[in-house]
Amino acid sequence: MSDDVMAVIAREIEARFRMPLDDLRQAVAAVPQASPDAAAVVKWYGMLTEAQQVLERAENALVAALDDSPGDVLEDPVMQLAHQVNTAVQVRDGRAMVVRHYLDPHAPSREGPGAWRGIEAGPHCGPALQTAAIPRATAAPSAPARGVSR
């Protein structure tokens, strides 16, 4: 299944740049500044590949631990492996989103402040709600405490 995800993204890269992925890697290695988007896609696809490998190792370790685990109750080491798998999935999916962002010709600008949020740099606006300082209560003159003489 995970190979399918990587194959789909590889096909999307090849379709976007109209060349095989290996040729694109070589072209970017030769002249990285020729296409910033191609360079970013190659970089992030490499990071995605690494994340996929980490995920596969974590899944294999979890499956092995589950095979060795007696009973229905999962011990802490097995739960730790399950958490590692979840984290690896999140990292892999995040990197896949970045690759897809770079592949999208209609994506917001990738340059400048706020580019990943889809906003352009502009004048700073104030808060959506007007805020004011909280008024301080004025202290009344202190009276001597009862039972205390001066």
Could you report the per-residue pLDDT of 52-100, keeping only the tens digit for each? 999 999 999 999 998 887 777 678 888 899 999 999 999 999 999 999 9
pLDDT at 116 over 90: no
Q: What is residue 130's three-state secondary structure?
A: coil
Please check whether residue 17 is in contact with residue 108, taking contact to mean a CB–CB distance below 8 angstroms: no
What is the pLDDT averaged over residues 91-120?
A: 73
Cut 0.85: pTM above it: no
What is the pLDDT averaged over residues 5-28?
A: 94
Q: Which residue has the tokens 């909280």?
A: 134
pLDDT at 143 over 80: no
Type of residue found at 78: V
**Mean confidence (pLDDT) of the chain:** 79
Q: Which residue has the tokens 């990285």?
A: 32
What pLDDT is stored for residue 56 in this prediction? 95
What pLDDT is stored for residue 26 in this prediction? 95
Q: How far apart are CA 88 and CA 58, in angstroms?
A: 8
pLDDT at 103 over 50: yes
What pLDDT is stored for residue 128 in this prediction? 47
